[in-house]
């Protein structure tokens, strides 16, 4: 059994050593929002993302692409506050969620340059702020430190693959907020549509 494992490890290392790895930089625009049964009334917020990628070729057309990205996400929400007497004031606010994201995607690229991607993404929360009426409130303690999502993407590569354009949809799988003494976390999940460009070094 040990010999079989040793052979498997050697074969894996041999394949990896022959793999062609290309590094690049990328960036683009986020159209982010939240979804779920408790996300009524939220609307999309525009942000940006940027970072680095490494494309590891496996066999003809197939590769694995890990990335490290800064991603500005969030949503617009309606906030209620007390006015005079029993009056309830409703104002629009923005929740800004800034993440460091690590997607690891399986990719297939056709000879025409068209490619598709899919895979998991783990994000670490850097900051969370509620901004409304000229004020700002730190809400990082109200959100989970990590967010797991699934990525679906499509794109097109030109100039022998050195330059490419892509569109992705990140579908959040874990609740964004934390549970409290009053009850479980709200059923609110991240939803992000991304569009951008990359350049292979």
pLDDT at 180: 82
The answer to whether residue 13 sits within a structural domain is no
The answer to whether residue 123 sits within a structural domain is yes
For the question of whether the overall pTM of this predicted structure is more than 0.75, the answer is: yes
The answer to whether residue 192 sits within a structural domain is yes
Residue ranges making up the domain that contains 194: 20-200
The answer to whether residue 125 sits within a structural domain is yes
The answer to whether residue 80 sits within a structural domain is yes
Condensed to tens digits (0 to 9), the pLDDT of residues 136-194 reads: 899 999 999 999 999 999 999 998 889 999 999 999 999 999 988 778 888 999 999 99
The answer to whether residue 78 sits within a structural domain is yes
Q: Give the C-alpha separation, 183 to 109, whole Å.
A: 46
Tokens of 135: 């004020």
Query: Do 120 and 104 touch, CB atoms closer than 8 A?
Result: yes
The answer to whether residue 171 sits within a structural domain is yes
Condensed to tens digits (0 to 9), the pLDDT of residues 34-43 reads: 999 988 888 9
For residue 48, pLDDT over 70 is answered with yes
CATH of the domain at 137: 2.40.160.20
The answer to whether residue 14 sits within a structural domain is no
In percent, the amount of the chain with pLDDT more than 70 equals 85
- The domain tally of the chain equals 1
Tokens of 155: 């794109």
């Amino acid at each position: 059994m040990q010999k079989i494992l040793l052979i498997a490890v050697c074969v894996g290392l041999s394949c990896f050593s022959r793999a062609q790895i290309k590094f690049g930089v990328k960036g683009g625009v986020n159209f982010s929002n939240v979804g779920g049964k408790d996300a009524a009334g939220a609307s999309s917020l525009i942000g940006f993302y940027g970072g680095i990628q490494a494309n590891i070729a496996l066999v003809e057309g197939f590769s694995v692409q890990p990335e490290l990205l800064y991603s500005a996400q969030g949503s617009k929400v309606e906030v209620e506050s007390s006015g005079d007497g029993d009056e309830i004031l409703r104002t629009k606010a923005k929740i800004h969620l800034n993440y460091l994201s690590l997607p690891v995607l399986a990719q297939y690229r056709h000879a025409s340059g068209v490619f598709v991607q899919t895979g998991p993404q783990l994000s670490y929360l850097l900051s969370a702020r509620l901004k409304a009426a000229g004020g700002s409130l730190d809400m990082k303690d109200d959100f989970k430190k990590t967010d797991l999502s699934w990525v679906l993407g499509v794109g097109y590569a030109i100039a022998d693959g050195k330059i490419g354009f892509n569109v992705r949809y990140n579908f959040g799988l874990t609740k964004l907020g934390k549970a409290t003494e009053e009850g479980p976390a709200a059923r609110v999940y991240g939803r992000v549509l991304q569009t951008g460009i990359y350049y292979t070094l």
